[in-house]
């Protein structure tokens, strides 16, 4: 499988040929114009004498290849995005000069033009491996090297990389090409030369360039060094970001201190930059010493507390990667979880214990863990330590299993071995593999030594087997209300029939004198096998509610005993502890989507819960699951009535919410998603919010909320394309262009959906963010508008996979799936495609299967509710 993909076998073979030390000198010329840049790379490395291997490079043109002093004709050595190297010596020097292309998809070196001021911003994104889009490289994580970067760019720009600037020089007589600065006059060029990096993986190298706004401070590192810190964003966002910079510096410093104390390893690198960049195709990226973060985290408008907290978790997640993933890196992508699960677990722990977001574990349960439970019940699930045969396998594994299930299982591991022993083992692991690569076996060895527990069986259960268990509570009580027996019954799905060992807690909850539901007792125990008796609670008075997995210590589905289930359904909103509410709510949602709890009851439970819930992420996800239930799971005959009822109740809740509160904002945005064409009451509310004739005390119609309203009007055909264009003309910014694309694609007409479909598939000048906005608007098509796209979707899939990069193909195949079409038709079409594509790439079948199984679940759950 040659070319842009890379198999594990090829990587292993190349690693046996290439030997350290490996050194790259990379020079980039960013002054040529808006389409291409010059890349010149010199690599020195060891090799087996007489051996053959290859470099990775995706370029428009390779103009020169020099191997050990001899010129090689690119026509003979360049093919399939690779440069063949033959008859290598014990030590080798290879120079490659190429013309590479800026991307507009967030892959490689992305180029973004801000329409509000014409400024150009560049940044790199190299994970999984896209360093090869910028320079010639052995692009795999275990061939670590040291790097020397230099960049030629316009004099007025700022250029940053992984290391501090060694020196800068003006290039007399060298001017930038017309167009480099968005059509502005040419200017003198400058060269930035950066200090040599420590040994690192190529996917963690990075360059950012452009007229970024900047802020600086420093941190007194635990090893006695002073670490320079900086933050950057687009000039158009300078004023908004300035309000938050000190706060984000403070959060980052708290992270430095927490991680150094917890792991016993101070921050290891020379500096720490955080650059908020436009049109990012991920949340953030852990480039060594220079993290890139999507600039939707720069808040110009009011945002939910859930998003504000998510920004904190993201900042701390990327900081954790400086140790997990950067300082110690997985050998191959099958151990991606060593990066992502640890960063997810540690960022949540740090957020909960070192910042004001003390309910962060409730956030994790409602947000991240619900993501994991969803993906772990698909046929495409995989072990946390996943089998990765090639790069495409890796790309589809940046998922809820690798991130959220892995983090949840690490929380279970801490409960299993003890917190002090766990972090002692982590300290030894980081020290033993500093600046190197490691595997699962390396980690387990250190944890076993620190804890004295054999973790091989634990690993086989939790890390090397897919699927999720269910723990059901069975209670027998005496006539006087005393517990006679309490048994936990564990089961496993047929396709993943493994019963795991769990270290968990059971909480007993009752109503106190204030009417709140509070915990009155708690026991910890190990659960193993099919049946476990909880003797510690036998002989005690039966509480109103028994919560297995109190404090969410393990990863499992829960099924409550009948009395507990009935009590929680009536009283969930009265539980005082945010984490307990999140665990219980997630179980109700899981039962609903499994066809084990009536959709109409879940709607009522959710609306009651929203009347009092204040944990923002739980609130946000409750709104999301409520929407899924109403739109997909309720009985077909009840759907329109339920939609109308839910919308009315959300509007009532919004009007009753505290002035200016987070709940008020979330409820208004949720209400606006329920609009239907011809609903005069909705039209009056939505248009009134926009023109000011309808007001809610404390609710500001700022830029982002204004565009939420415009999109709601578009979905109900209360605004046309010309009206959307007029709104955009009032303030034409990067963000508002994306909002406008989404609004146009949201219009409930066949013409609008056809336009959106064509734009998504064939307008390749759209940035990745604009494409995602078009896709999101198209996806709002209700059944009659979505139905014609069932056949068109499956006709387009193969073309998408062949003609688009993986990231863009993933966005298109996931987002253009006409989810609101008749699920029976979607299932039949999906099954036909799967049957006809037995030889398709595993990653492509993975994407199609996930969509298919979503529709199969809809059919199953809808049938359950229609039978009630």
110 and 161 in a common domain:
yes
427's tokens? 């300290």
pLDDT at 1: 29
Sheet (strand 188-194) strand order? 70-72, 61-67, 91-101, 36-47, 18-29, 146-154, 188-194, 165-175
> Nearest CA to 460 among 438, 440, 430?
440
488 and 391 belong to one structural domain: no
Question: What pLDDT, on a 0 to 100 scale, did the predictor assign at position 396?
Answer: 79
390 confidence band (pLDDT: 50, 70, 90): confident
Domain limit, last residue, from 400, 433, 462: 462
Q: What's the CATH number where 66 sits?
A: 2.60.40.1730
Angle of helix 842-866 versus helix 599-610 axis, rounded to 10:
100
406-445 residue pLDDT tens: 999 999 999 889 999 999 999 999 999 999 999 989 999 9
Helix, strand, coil shares, percent, the chain, to 5: 45, 20, 30
pLDDT tens, position by position, 234-274: 999 999 999 999 999 999 999 999 999 999 999 999 999 99
Assess if residue 250 is contained within a domain.
no
Do 38 and 67 lie in one domain? The reply is yes
Q: How confident is the model at residue 180 (pLDDT cuts 50, 70, 90)?
A: low
What integer is the mean pLDDT of 698-704? 97
**Domain-ending residue, one of 418, 440, 462:** 462
Is residue 309 domain-resident? Answer: no
CA pair distance 545, 576, nearest whole angstrom: 13
> Of these residues, 127, 279, 309, 318, which one is catalytic?
318
Q: For position 183, what pLDDT does the model report?
A: 54
Asked if residue 42 is part of any domain, the answer here is yes
- The pLDDT assigned to 400 comes to 87
- Percent pLDDT > 90 in the chain is 91
> What DSSP line would sit under 552-566, residue for residue?
G-S--EEE--HHHHH
335 lies in the same domain as 425: yes
Query: What confidence score (pLDDT) does residue 393 get?
Result: 83
**Which contiguous run of DSSP H or E holds residue 814?**
helix 806-815
pLDDT tens-digit series, residues 209-223: 999 999 999 999 999
**Tens digits of per-residue pLDDT, 572-625?**
999 999 999 999 999 999 999 999 999 999 999 999 999 999 999 999 999 999
Q: What is the pLDDT of residue 2?
A: 38
673 — pLDDT class (breaks 50, 70, 90): very high
Last-in-domain residue among 211, 240, 260: 211
Tell me the pLDDT tens digit for each residue of 799-839: 999 999 888 999 999 999 999 999 999 999 999 999 999 99
Strand-pair category, 226-233 with 272-277: parallel
Angstrom distance (rounded) from CA 88 to CA 68: 9
Residue 252 placed within a domain: no
The CATH number given to whatever domain includes residue 517 is 2.60.40.1840
Same-domain check for residues 480 and 383: no
Task: Mark whether 386 and 442 lie in a shared domain.
Answer: yes
Q: What percent of the chain has pLDDT over 70?
A: 99
Residues with Cβ within 8 Å of 207's Cβ and at least 6 positions away in sequence, in order, are 28, 109, 122, 123, 124, 134, 149, 151, 159, 160, 161
CATH of the domain at 369: 1.10.390.10
Say if residue 174 is exposed, middle or buried (CB neighbours under 10 Å; 0-12, 13-18, 19+).
middle
Quote the CA–CA distance of 582 and 219 in Å, as a whole number. Answer: 36
Q: In what order do the strands lie in the sheet with 557-559?
A: 531-533, 483-491, 470-477, 557-559
Q: Is residue 637 part of a domain?
A: no
Q: Burial level of 664, CB count in 10 A (0-12/13-18/19+)?
A: buried
Bridge partners of residue 191, in order along the sequence: 152, 169
User: Looking at per-residue confidence, does 177 or 681 come out higher?
Assistant: 681
Same domain flag for 112 and 159? yes
Asked whether residue 458 falls in the same domain as residue 482, the answer is no
pLDDT value at position 174?
Answer: 74
DSSP 593-608: HTT-S-HHHHHHHHHH
Decide if 279 is catalytic: no
Q: How many residues does the chain have?
A: 868
| 798 φ, ψ (degrees, to nearest 5) | -65, -40
- Domain-embedded: residue 853: no
Query: Has residue 507 got a pLDDT over 70?
Result: yes
Element (H, E) at 474: strand 470-477
Q: Does residue 688 surpass a pLDDT of 80? A: yes
Instruction: Determine, yes or no, domain membership for 864.
Output: no
Number of domains in the chain: 3
Task: Give the residue ranges of DSSP H helices in 325-369.
Answer: 336-354, 360-364
Q: Residue 489: give the domain boundaries.
A: 469-554+556-581
Residues 782-805 pLDDT 10s: 999 999 999 999 999 999 999 998
Q: Is 574 exposed, middle or buried (0-12, 13-18, 19+ CB in 10 A)?
A: buried
Mean pLDDT of the region 124-137: 95
When computed from its CA atoms, the radius of gyration of the chain, rounded to whole angstroms, is 28
Q: pLDDT tens for residues 334-349?
A: 888 888 999 999 999 9
Q: What is the structure's pLDDT at 184?
A: 65
Residues 207, 106, single domain; the answer is yes
Do residues 495 and 455 share a domain? no
Q: Are residues 63 and 205 in the same domain?
A: yes
Token pair for residue 282?
């991920």
Average per-residue pLDDT for the chain: 95
In-domain check, residue 381: yes
State whether 367 and 457 are in the same domain: yes
């Amino acid at each position: 499988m040659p070319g842009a993909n890379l198999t594990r076998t090829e990587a292993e073979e190349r690693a046996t040929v290439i030997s350290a030390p490996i050194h790259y000198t990379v020079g980039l010329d960013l002054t040529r114009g808006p389409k291409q840049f010059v890349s010149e790379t010199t690599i020195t490395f060891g090799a087996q004498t007489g051996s053959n291997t290859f470099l990775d490079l995706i370029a428009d043109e390779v103009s020169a290849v020099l191997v050990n002093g001899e010129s090689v004709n690119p026509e003979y050595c360049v093919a399939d995005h690779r440069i063949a190297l033959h008859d290598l010596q014990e030590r080798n020097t290879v120079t490659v000069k190429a013309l590479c292309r800026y991307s507009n998809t967030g892959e490689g070196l992305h180029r973004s033009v801000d329409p509000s001021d014409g400024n150009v911003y560049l940044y790199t994104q190299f994970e999984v491996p896209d360093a090869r889009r910028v320079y010639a490289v052995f692009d795999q994580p275990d061939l670590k090297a040291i790097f020397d970067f230099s960049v030629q760019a316009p004099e007025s720009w700022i250029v940053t990389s992984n290391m501090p600037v060694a020196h800068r020089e003006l290039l007399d007589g060298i001017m930038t090409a017309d167009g480099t600065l968005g059509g502005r006059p040419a200017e003198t060029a400058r060269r930035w030369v950066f200090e040599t990096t420590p040994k690192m993986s190529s996917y963690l190298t990075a360059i950012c360039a452009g007229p970024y706004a900047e802020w600086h401070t420093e941190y007194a590192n635990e090893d006695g060094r002073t670490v320079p810190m900086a933050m950057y964003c687009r000039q158009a966002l300078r004023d908004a970001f300035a309000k938050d910079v000190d706060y984000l510096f403070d959060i980052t410093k708290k992270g430095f201190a927490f991680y150094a104390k917890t792991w016993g390893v101070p921050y290891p690198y020379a500096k720490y930059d955080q650059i908020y960049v436009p049109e990012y195709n991920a949340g953030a990226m852990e480039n060594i010493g220079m993290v890139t973060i999507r600039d939707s985290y720069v808040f110009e408008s009011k945002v939910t507390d859930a998003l504000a907290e998510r920004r904190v978790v993201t900042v701390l997640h990327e900081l954790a990667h400086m140790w997990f993933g950067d300082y110690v890196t997985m050998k191959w992508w099958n151990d991606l979880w060593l990066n992502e699960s640890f960063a997810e677990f540690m960022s949540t722990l740090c957020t909960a214990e070192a910042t004001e977001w003390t309910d962060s574990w409730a956030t994790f349960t409602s947000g991240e863990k619900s993501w994991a439970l969803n993906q772990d019940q698909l046929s495409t699930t995989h072990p946390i330590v996943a089998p990765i045969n090639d790069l495409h396998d890796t790309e589809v594994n940046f998922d809820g299993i690798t991130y959220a299930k892995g983090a949840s299982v690490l929380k279970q591991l801490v409960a299993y071995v003890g917190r002090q022993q766990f972090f002692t083992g982590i300290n030894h692991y980081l020290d033993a593999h500093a600046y190197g690569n490691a595997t699962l076996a390396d980690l387990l060895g250190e944890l076993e030594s620190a804890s004295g527990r054999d973790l091989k069986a634990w690993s086989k259960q939790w890390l090397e087997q897919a699927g999720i268990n269910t723990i059901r509570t069975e209670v027998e009580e005496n006539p006087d209300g005393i517990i006679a027996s309490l048994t936990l019954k564990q089961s496993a799905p047929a396709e993943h029939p493994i019963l795991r060992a769990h270290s968990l807690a059971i909480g007993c909850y009752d109503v106190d004198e204030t009417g709140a539901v509070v915990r009155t007792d708690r026991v910890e125990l190990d659960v193993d096998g099919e049946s476990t008796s909880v003797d510690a609670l036998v002989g005690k008075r039966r509480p109103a509610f028994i919560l297995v997995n109190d404090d969410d210590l393990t990863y499992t589905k829960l099924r409550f005993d009948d009395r507990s289930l009935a009590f929680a359904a009536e009283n969930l909103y009265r539980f005082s502890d945010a984490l307990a509410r999140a665990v219980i709510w997630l179980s109700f949602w899981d039962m609903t989507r499994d066809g084990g709890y009536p959709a109409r009851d879940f709607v009522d439970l959710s609306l009651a819960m929203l009347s009092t819930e204040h944990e923002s992420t739980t609130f946000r996800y409750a709104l999301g699951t409520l929407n899924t239930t109403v739109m997909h799971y309720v009985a077909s005959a009840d759907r329109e009535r339920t939609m109308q009822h839910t919308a009315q109740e959300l509007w009532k809740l919004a009007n009753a919410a505290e002035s200016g509160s987070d709940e008020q904002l979330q409820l208004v945005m949720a209400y606006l998603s329920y609009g239907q064409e011809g609903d005069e009451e909705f039209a009056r509310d939505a248009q009134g919010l926009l023109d000011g004739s309808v007001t809610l005390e404390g609710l500001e119609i700022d830029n982002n909320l204004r565009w939420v309203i415009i999109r709601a009007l578009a979905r109900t055909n209360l605004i046309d394309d010309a009206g959307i264009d007029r709104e955009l003309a009032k303030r034409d910014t990067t963000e508002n262009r994306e909002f406008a694309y989404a609004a146009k694609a949201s219009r409930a007409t066949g013409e609008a959906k056809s336009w959106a479909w064509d734009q998504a598939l064939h307008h390749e000048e759209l940035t990745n963010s604009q494409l995602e906005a078009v896709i999101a608007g198209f996806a709002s098509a209700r059944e009659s508008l979505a139905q014609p796209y069932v056949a068109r979707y499956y006709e387009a899939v193969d073309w998408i996979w062949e003609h688009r990069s993986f990231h863009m193909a993933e966005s298109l195949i996931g987002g253009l799936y006409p989810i609101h079409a008749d699920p029976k038709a979607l299932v039949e079409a999906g099954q036909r495609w799967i049957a006809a594509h037995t030889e398709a790439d595993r990653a492509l079948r993975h994407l199609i299967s996930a969509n298919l199984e979503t529709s199969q679940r809809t059919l199953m759950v809808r049938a359950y509710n229609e039978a009630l």
